[in-house]
Amino acid sequence: MSSSAFHCLPRVLVAVALALLAGCQVLPEREITEPAPPALQPQAAEPDRPTRLVDAMDALQNGQFDAAADMLESLRQQSPGSPILALLLRQLNESPEALLPPPYRTLRVEPGDTLSELAERELGNPLLFVALARLNELRQPKRLQVGAELRVPDRKPAIAGGGSDDSAGRSTADDRADAVNDVTGDSKDDSRAQAQDAAPADESMDAAAGNGSRRSELETVAEYLLASGQPTDARELLIAAGREQSLSDGAEELLVELSLDSARAEVENDQFATATATLAEAMTVLGPGPLRARLEVQRTRLAVDERLARAEAFEQRGLLLEAYREAEQALALDDDHGLAIQREAALREALVADYHDRALRAWRARDIDLAIRTWDVLLEAVPTFEPARVYLERARRLRRRLDDPE
């Protein structure tokens, strides 16, 4: 390499170094502008949810009395003549001691009790659970502690408009009727009929519309009680109301379903008589029609099943005569019942074989009187069994010869 080249090298290196230093300088930061977010489109306001009686009932059960009062007031503006709303609001606005006056007695909460059920049983109206909760300072009516002691009036209160607290000389049916009047808005006098007779046609139509609204509220309360695990209270409310006025189609259908469900549960516990009574009670408030006929059919089936269950129990104990009589009664209730037909035939055959054999053994053992008694019983139960009739006549002739040998 020439000397001139060596002389140029330092200058080149310096130039390269300066270039590198220039590249390593920290550049000033640039301000980065964020893109503006897209403008939000205004959303349409959601329509206010209409106030429902079910929501008010739920608030009452949860002890939210102020919220329930607001909802009930809103509902009353829509249905100013509603007796159910009036009754519920009255329990919130008046002192519980005024609605449920003393003297009081104490009861203990048992497993399975609900406040609505206790109100129905002790006060005659499941909707009075609000007053009962306030009387006992319960924060949440739907939460009852087993073993807790509650105050209840000694007598069912007469809280219907203008009612007196004096229940002397009144029957339980009268007390229940008054309590139901608070729910249905009816009274046992003829004021409703007089008002309808005196009202012009337009007013009569308005009254009819009011009754439809009332029945709708009744269904709503019953459905609420059912949804909150109180089917017995719902059923009793519908029956009590049905005794005072005609139920709507929806209320009748609900009553039938509740009664059938209750009867099924009772049958599962072998409470046939209770199940039959449950259906019969519902039938008392149903008019003629398919719903009543449905309960009648089911009641007959229950009676048949009860007889067959008894027959089986007697047969297991070796009591064939009693078993056969139960099966015979079951078949008499429903002569098309397949199981009843089978059981009656099988037990008749077993009874005939058993009693005829007993009588023959007594006859061969010269126990004429026992043979006669046994064939008598057999022929009373199964009069068509001719061999027993033939042998019985022979035994009676022999008995007469022995008693009068000439």
pLDDT at 181 over 70: no
The total of structural domains in the chain comes to: 1
Highest-confidence range of 35-39, 60-64, 247-251, 353-357, by mean pLDDT?
Answer: 353-357
Quote the pLDDT of residue 385.
93
More confident position, 53 or 161: 53
Quote the pLDDT of residue 216.
52
- Of 259, 322, 326, 266, give the one whose Cα is nearest residue 295: 259
Mapped onto helix, strand or coil, the DSSP state of residue 149 is: strand
Residues in a beta bridge with 104? 153
Does pTM top 0.85 for this prediction?
no
Residues in a beta bridge with 108? 149
Is 123 inside a domain boundary?
A: yes
351-378 pLDDT tens trace: 999 999 999 999 999 999 999 999 999 9
> How deeply is 165 buried, as exposed, middle or buried, from its count of CB atoms within 10 A (0-12, 13-18, 19+)?
middle
Residue 88: domain span: 51-186+211-230
Is 198 inside a domain boundary?
A: no
260-315 pLDDT tens trace: 999 999 988 888 889 999 999 999 999 899 999 999 999 999 999 999 999 999 99
Q: What's the CA gap between 131 and 111, in Å, rounded?
A: 22
Is 286 inside a domain boundary?
A: no
Is 2 inside a domain boundary?
A: no
pLDDT at 318 over 90: yes
Is 41 inside a domain boundary?
A: no
Is 174 inside a domain boundary?
A: yes
Quote the pLDDT of residue 1.
44
Q: What's the CA gap between 228 and 223, in Å, rounded?
A: 9
Label residue 247 by pLDDT band (50, 70, 90). confident
What length does the chain have?
406
Quote the pLDDT of residue 248.
85
Supply the mean pLDDT for the chain. Answer: 76
Distance between alpha carbon 73 and the CA centroid of its chain, in Å? 28
> With contact defined as beta carbons under 8 Å apart, do 256 and 294 qualify?
yes
Quote the pLDDT of residue 343.
93
Label residue 47 by pLDDT band (50, 70, 90). low
> With contact defined as beta carbons under 8 Å apart, do 123 and 155 qualify?
no
More confident position, 175 or 217: 217
Report the percent of the chain where pLDDT is more than 70: 73
Residue 112 tokens read as 């399975």
Is 5 inside a domain boundary?
A: no
pLDDT at 332 over 90: yes
Is 9 inside a domain boundary?
A: no
Long-range contacts of 347-350 (CB under 8 A, 24+ apart): 347/311, 347/315, 347/320, 347/323, 348/324, 348/382, 350/315, 350/320, 350/324
The Cα-based distances of 40 to 4, 34, 36, 43, 47 in angstroms read 74, 17, 12, 9, 20
